[in-house]
Amino acid sequence: MNYPNGILTILGKSIKRGQSAEAKFSVAKLHTNTSVDVPVIIHRAKKAGPTVLFTAGIHGDEVNGIEVVRQIIAQGINKPKIGTIICLPVINIFGFINLQREFPDGRDLNRVFPGSKSGSLASRVAYHLMKEVIPNVDYIVDFHTGGANRFNAPQVRIAANNEKYDEFAKLFGAPFVLYSKNIKKSFRNACNNLHIPVILFEGGKSLHIDKHITNVGLEGSKRFLHHLGMLNDTLEVKQIDNHPVFILESKWIRAKYSGMFKPLFNINAYVEKGEVLGYITDPFGKLNHAIKASNRGYLINVNESPIVYQGDAVFHITTKIKADND
């Protein structure tokens, strides 16, 4: 990113090359009239280069993503050899405070972009982010988790038919790459409209921190920065053990009955058609329903709730992968 006179001006801060700063991302106060300022950590190298933004917490209960960005800061991964790295660990601070996915008004921040200056609280936060932060960056790595008790396998989500995105996904090194359309009014879609690439990482579940998922996110971030020539030479880059599986199509297997749920497989497992994936029972010993795989494929999401209702998503299984993954 080329800034006027080499100076990055963001959220009221002017930062020269070789300098570091902490800005404040703030839109509104709590109902107690208490200010809520989210620190935005910015590190600039002396040498010019790309600007990468790491974000998490668009959904306030997705704490595993927030933990990834926290560790990026704590381990000094955000101190670049060239260019600029910006870390915004919690976008939806209001949801994070209450450990809830949405804003206090019930709106999903990831469905109101690019936002409005005079709209709802969520819409104002989206507008503030898109106007004051996003125009300053070249690349974004955005961290998410599965919703509720649905545990996502570590995966990168990108739009199809884009060679640049395919390259980024491969070098990030998550086990799976899921082609998914940019959802209207999502953060990813709003950035795409500005031609800013977004690597969206999904892993784990809400209100939970998983060490393995966190490590995949950290190592992927390091590989991405290394690819851009930005990673500090003091940090080690781990090679990818296996190439990611690129998923063209997938489907949810849903519960046919309400009851107590016991999965027999964890995420990442490869199963055959007809294989028993788990059971739904009742507390009285009358129901014992076997959930079978509808097709052969990888399990990329498993519901970890002990109780499910009829129609609940219990397993997410791949139905079509790229030929070179077979």
Write down the pLDDT at residue 325.
Answer: 53
Where do the domains of the chain lie, and which CATH numbers do they carry? 4-227 (3.40.630.10), 249-325 (2.40.50.100)
Write down the pLDDT at residue 31.
Answer: 84
Structure tokens at 152: 């996502």
Instruction: Report the chain (326 residues): mean pLDDT per 10 consecutive residues.
Output: 94 97 90 89 98 98 98 98 98 94 94 96 96 98 94 96 95 96 96 96 97 97 98 94 93 98 97 98 97 98 97 98 72
Write down the pLDDT at residue 324.
Answer: 67
Residue 277 near residue 265 (C-beta atoms within 8 A): yes
Side-by-side strand order, sheet with 259-263: 288-292, 276-281, 259-263, 307-308
Write down the pLDDT at residue 173.
Answer: 96
pTM exceeds cut of 0.75: yes
Write down the pLDDT at residue 105.
Answer: 87
In the chain, the DSSP E strands lie at 8-10, 13-15, 20-25, 38-44, 51-56, 84-88, 139-146, 150-158, 176-179, 198-205, 245-254, 259-263, 270-271, 276-281, 288-292, 297-303, 307-308, 313-321
Return all residues near 138 (Cβ < 8 A) that are at least 6 apart. 1, 50, 51, 52, 196, 197
Write down the pLDDT at residue 241.
Answer: 80
Residue 249 near residue 180 (C-beta atoms within 8 A): no
